[in-house]
Structure 1
Amino acid sequence: MIRIAIADDHAIVRAGLRQFFSDQMDFQVVAEATTGREAVDLVRKGDVDVMLLDISLPDQSGVEVLAAIKARAPDLPVLVLSGFPEAHYATTLLRQGASGYLNKDCDPEEIVRAIRTVVRGRKYITAGVAEQLADGLSHGGDRPLHELLSERELQVFLRLAKGETIGNMANSMSLSVKTVSTYRTRVMEKMGLESNSDLTYYGLKNGLIQ
């Protein structure tokens, strides 16, 4: 039996997945989370074979939640199921430890195939993501600017782009204000941007925030 945890803040999404998985003899939804904190708590408790993770959770970005999950359970497969198109986040999250990335518009049968693939320890790569990865290898200099950021820098970028203050970020990320400011400086330098409003514009333009 494959024990599945679903982390998504939309009840209708969780209910739909639960109903669909009930038709699979080897699937069992054993836990659900509506926030990033709850998702990480589920991992702490164990008893899960795969986590389905939405990238847009109310308290933390999926990037931060993925990092926290992989820190606590590096071998747990995390399949990202997101409303954002693959082009916006897929390659970045795969590099940071996700086992696969699917858009919520995909065929439900593809989610089943993906779960069965990742619980065997393999990555689930769609044709579209494979093409992106191949393009990234052949055109290394043409990667989107946000893909140049480290995992922590990307977390800081997304929070700044959403308008969060450095003080709030320091508190919620358990970092000093000085450390967050240093990350902000690195982000600005790597992306060639000058202000927080530039970060917000980039995030909106590239579909990284809503």
Structure 2
Amino acid sequence: MITICFADNSPIVHQGMKTFFSESKTCKVETFVKNYDELQKALSKGKFNTVILDVELNGLNSIINVKALVKNNPETNFIIFTNVSDTLYAPPAIKSGVKAYLSKNIELAELEKAIVSVNNGEVIFSESVREAIEMLKKVKKEDRLYKKLSSREIEVLRYFNEGKKNKEVAKILSLDEKTISTYKLRLLQKLNVTNLVDLLNKSRELEIIS
């Protein structure tokens, strides 16, 4: 039986997963957590074959946190299960070492199948992720400036897109406000724009953000 730790903000999602997997013959959800701190505590206390993780989990500030989780728990398979843009998060998620990146729009039976496949050594990504990656490969070289962006820069960009100011982003990421200003300057330079409005517009055109 594949043991699972399910990390998601929503109690409704927790209940849905509990109901579905209660009848599974292959997977058992042993623990539900609703924030990053609880996830870390759960991983420190027990061993799970798989962690199902939403990148919008409360307290999970960056894909860098996901990379750290993967590194610190090498015997655990991590699967991203989220509504967050495939184009934004799939490439860095792949690099971070997650074994699957799946949209919450899929059927739960498909999720169960992916969990089993991952625990058999496969790497699974939804069709939308594959299409996004293939599409990005076809983009003209001059339009692929986003590939120069670091995971942290993409994270900062996402918060700017949500309307957050430098001070707010700094607090969320536990960084100095001057550091956020530096990230903003780098983003402007890398995407060859001069202001935040143009930065966000160009980022949407390149589908870095949605």
Partner Cα separation in structure 2 for residue 112 and residue 96 of structure 1: 22
Residues 88-167 of structure 1 aligned to structure 2 (within 5 Å): 88-139=88-139, 141=141, 146-167=146-167
Q: Is the 8 A contact 1:54 1:62 kept in 2?
A: no
What's the counterpart of residue 66 of structure 1?
66
Partner Cα separation in structure 1 for residue 42 and residue 3 of structure 2: 12
Partner Cα separation in structure 1 for residue 150 and residue 172 of structure 2: 19
Task: Letter of the 1:113 partner, please give it.
Answer: K
User: Normalization by structure 1: what TM-score?
Assistant: 0.79
Q: SS at the partner of 1:28?
A: strand
1:49 to 1:143, Cα distance in 2 relative to 1, 3 A: farther
> How much does 1:198 deviate?
4.2
Further displaced range: 166-175 or 24-33: 166-175
What's the counterpart of residue 5 of structure 1?
5
What's the counterpart of residue 177 of structure 2?
177
1:10 to 1:174, Cα distance in 2 relative to 1, 3 A: closer
Q: Which runs of 5+ in 2 are unaligned?
A: none
Partner Cα separation in structure 2 for residue 66 and residue 137 of structure 1: 24
Q: Which runs of 5+ in 1 are unaligned?
A: none
1:156 to 1:3, Cα distance in 2 relative to 1, 3 A: same
Partner Cα separation in structure 2 for residue 144 and residue 103 of structure 1: 24
For the aligned residue pairs, the C-alpha RMSD in angstroms reads 3.1
- % identical equivalent positions: 25
Greater than 6 Å deviation, 4+ residue runs: none
What's the counterpart of residue 16 of structure 1?
16
Q: Is the 8 A contact 1:4 1:30 kept in 2?
A: yes
Q: SS at the partner of 2:120?
A: coil
Task: Letter of the 2:156 partner, please give it.
Answer: V
User: Normalization by structure 2: what TM-score?
Assistant: 0.79
What's the counterpart of residue 79 of structure 1?
79
Partner Cα separation in structure 1 for residue 190 and residue 167 of structure 2: 22
